[in-house]
Amino acid sequence: MYLRSISHKNLSITNIQKMLFAFLLFKDGVSKNSIKTKNNITLKRIVLQHFIILLIIFMEANVMSSAQKGLSNPWGLVYEDAITENLPNKVNIHPVTYKLNGIDIAANVYTPPNYNPSKKYPSVVVAHPNGGVKEQVAGLYAQRLAEAGYITIAADAAYQGASGGMPRNVDKPANRIEDIRGMADFISQYPGADDKRIGLLGICGGGGYALAAAKTDKRFKAVATLSMFNSGLVRRNGFMNSQLSTIQERLKQASEARAIEAAGGEILYMNPTKTTDEMAEKMPFELYREGHYYYNKTHAHPNSTFRYTMSSLLDLMAWDATTNMELIDQPLLMMAGSKADSYYMTESAFNLSTGTTQKELFLIPGATAIQTYYVPEYVQQAMNKLKEFFGKYL
């Protein structure tokens, strides 16, 4: 845990060198002067012995530095190669707000290179993961799809991120599905967007809600998911059915939380405290461990949080993304990492999607769920498949 405890502010190349040198002094029990007088063979042994430490610290520094740069991005974008300014003949980003059922929704629209509002472009709605915001992985894929010629939109869910709604961090399936429909409403009226060619991409929790939206909203002509997460299933049964024995107990807690809210009392939250590195390392599931480092470290954003109202469980635990999967008759692409421990949710939904024959299950070799959010080679593989899929059906 030594590496995880290093402050982000200290991860400069100069400080890495200082830390390595200090580490060598401490580890080998020698002074700076004694190191200077050691022969070349001993020095080589020491350098080889600790070279891996330098590499690991250097790699972590690069990742943390990238995240720090993201926070200074003019639009708060925290993903790699994010837009830093709007330039002619390049992808441009346009922050927008609009009303959805009386709530202000904050979104980013990405327009393709050489965008001409008098022309017609296919568009793609991108739904973010649970706990995520538009500046993270949803923004990454929205930008990359815009580079491929699409007008795209990524919005913060109502009650979350920069969008309005009180109390904060309500997380109900009906709201998340309506968020997706609201993005379609907005983008269909955007200058240059062809309202007859709208695609949908849902990531992680947004993937489950994308499936639900597409079952009835036929404005979406093609539907794709990445690392799909069935929020209702997991909130009810636990990840990999790990909480089956506590279903009734948790429903009682959610009911009591709702009663307290109704009486004007305190809003109670699930995951009210921030996860530490030590807590994350003890988590039994890779999705949650890697998710901690992605959301709280390497791609952290101040609006991103795993916290949600406890009363939301009343809706979440009675919901399932795979109910009525046969209603999806649009072309369907479901992508997941071959090593993702959440893959069972993608596989189940795909097998139940009997309403369409134009469907494909695409595994990204070697990737875990969270790695599809940011690792360049895995993102590129997902993008290649998305360009092929949306290019064919939009």
pLDDT of residue 45: 52
* Cis, bond preceding 272 (omega within 30 deg of 0): no
238 and 135 in a common domain: yes
pLDDT of residue 274: 86
pLDDT of residue 24: 41
Radius of gyration, CA atoms only, the chain: 23
pLDDT of residue 71: 58
Nearest to 214 by CA among 62, 358, 68: 358
97 and 16 in a common domain: no
Between strands 359-364 and 269-270, the pairing is unpaired
Between strands 359-364 and 332-337, the pairing is parallel
348 and 243 in a common domain: yes
99 and 61 in a common domain: no
The reply to whether 382 falls in a domain is yes
Write down the number of H helices and E strands in the chain: 13, 10
The reply to whether 300 falls in a domain is yes
Q: Which domain holds residue 168?
A: 92-393
152 and 65 in a common domain: no
pLDDT of residue 205: 98
The reply to whether 77 falls in a domain is no
Q: Residue 344 is part of a domain; what is its CATH number?
A: 3.40.50.1820
293 and 156 in a common domain: yes
> H helices within the chain, ranges in order?
13-28, 32-37, 40-71, 137-147, 173-188, 205-216, 231-237, 247-262, 277-281, 286-293, 313-316, 343-352, 376-393
50 and 123 in a common domain: no
- Residue 90 is encoded by which pair of tokens? 């390049």
pLDDT of residue 273: 87
The reply to whether 196 falls in a domain is yes
The reply to whether 64 falls in a domain is yes
63 and 110 in a common domain: no
170 and 25 in a common domain: no
Write out pLDDT tens, residues 186-201. 999 999 999 999 999 9
The reply to whether 79 falls in a domain is no
Name residues of the chain where pLDDT drops below 70: 1-71
The reply to whether 84 falls in a domain is no
pLDDT of residue 35: 43
Largest CA distance in the chain: 76
104 and 48 in a common domain: no
102 and 40 in a common domain: no
- Residue 349 is encoded by which pair of tokens? 């939904």
How many domains, the chain? 2
276 and 132 in a common domain: yes
The answer to whether 221 and 197 are in contact (CB under 8 A) is yes
The reply to whether 320 falls in a domain is yes
pLDDT of residue 287: 97
What is the model's pTM? 0.83
The answer to whether 107 and 97 are in contact (CB under 8 A) is yes
Among 20, 39, 71, where does a domain finish? 71
